[in-house]
């Protein structure tokens, strides 16, 4: 065991620096910078239309960044094709879940599992199904016929099956009953215990801060406030104002 980490040792799973992105002539993200520490849950809080989805999509290459750097465990990925970024180790649970509606749950796991080394696939599948006993009972059912909560679990399970080093979750609570949201967030806590690095986009400050180690507030495409949950709670009124509440 070495006494001190070497100076080059990575402490961040993801580093976004001065990212600019948009659609056509429209610039949505202005000079966004944030980091996601290894093994921690970082939350990105923002109101409707603040730019959370656009930021996650710019990180995964679904939106091409116009400027700035995105580094995954020390490797520059900005500008790469999205399927290559997925292969580089980012699991993306996109907004709206984006499941394959007429394919069974098991096919979602198989498709995610393409990115996991073959010899580890079976073990990973066991672990993922252990996190989501509800969908383990519905492996043969078409994804389009599942409830909203089950669909969200399939989306997370599919992303986990890619054996990611970093997990991006885009509003997994959207459209779910409070009880179901709770169970999704409990799963996130379990993932963090297992050492997963997570960037979670979320509208609700209460939900977001309940799981995160660090939070960033985005407003009109700019990071306007960053801090620990305690710091944000202390400045609750400021934070709420940024979130448009």
Binding site for ligand ATP (CB under 6 A): 23, 26, 28, 46, 48-54, 95, 171, 203
CB of 131 to other proteins, least distance (A): 18
Q: State CA 240 to chain mean position distance.
A: 22
CB of 193 to ligand ATP, least distance (A): 27
Question: Shortest CA distance to 87 belongs to which of 156, 162, 193?
Answer: 162
Instruction: Map the footprint of other proteins across residues 93-112, applying CB under 8 A.
Output: 93-94, 97-103, 107, 110-112
Q: Can residue 182 be called a binding residue for other proteins (CB under 8 A)?
A: no
Of 174 and 224, which has the nearer Cβ to other proteins? 174
- Say if residues 191 and 198 touch (Cβ distance below 8 Å): yes
How is residue 37 written in tokens? 């520490």
Of 30 and 40, which has the nearer Cβ to ligand ATP? 30
Name the 3-class secondary structure at 52.
helix
| List of residues contacting Mg ion (CB under 5 A) | 52-53, 95
Burial 5-40 (b: 16+ CB within 10 A, else e): eeeeeeebbbbbeebbbbeeeeebbeebebbbbbeb
Tokens 């010899």 belong to: 119
CB of 112 to Mg ion, least distance (A): 22
Instruction: Map the footprint of other proteins across residues 142-181, applying CB under 8 A.
Output: 142, 158-159, 162
- Cα separation, 229 vs 7, in Å, equals 28
- Per-residue contact track with other proteins, 109 to 148, x per CB under 8 A? -xxx-xx--------------------------x------
Q: What, of other proteins, ligand ATP, Mg ion, none, does residue 48 touch, CB below 5 to 8 Å by kind?
A: ligand ATP
Dihedral, 14, 19, 24, 28 alpha carbons, nearest 10: 90
Residues that bind other proteins (CB under 8 A): 60, 62, 81-84, 86-87, 91-94, 97-103, 107, 110-112, 114-115, 142, 158-159, 162
């Amino acid at each position: 065991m070495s006494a001190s980490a070497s100076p080059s040792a990575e402490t961040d799973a993801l580093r976004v620096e001065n990212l600019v992105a948009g659609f056509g002539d429209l610039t949505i993200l202005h000079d966004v910078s944030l980091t996601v520490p290894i093994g921690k849950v970082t939350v990105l809080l923002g109101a409707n239309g603040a730019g959370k989805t656009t930021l996650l999509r710019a990180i995964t290459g679904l939106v091409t960044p116009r400027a700035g750097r995105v580094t995954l465990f020390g490797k520059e990925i900005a500008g790469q094709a999205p399927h290559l970024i997925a292969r580089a180790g980012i699991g993306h649970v996109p907004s709206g879940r984006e499941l394959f509606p007429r394919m069974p749950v098991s096919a979602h796991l198989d498709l995610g599992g393409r990115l996991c080394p073959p010899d580890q696939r079976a073990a990973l599948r066991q672990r993922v199904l252990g996190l989501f006993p509800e969908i383990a009972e519905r492996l043969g059912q078409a994804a389009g016929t599942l409830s909203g909560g089950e669909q969200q679990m399939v989306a997370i399970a599919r992303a986990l099956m890619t054996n990611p080093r970093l997990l991006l979750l885009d509003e997994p609570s959207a459209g779910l009953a409070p009880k179901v949201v709770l169970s999704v967030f409990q799963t996130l806590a379990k993932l963090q215990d297992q050492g997963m690095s997570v960037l979670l986009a979320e509208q609700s400050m209460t939900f977001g801060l309940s799981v995160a180690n660090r939070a960033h507030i985005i407003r009109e495409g700019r990071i306007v406030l960053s801090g620990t949950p305690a710091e944000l709670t202390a400045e609750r009124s400021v934070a709420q104002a940024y979130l448009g509440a």
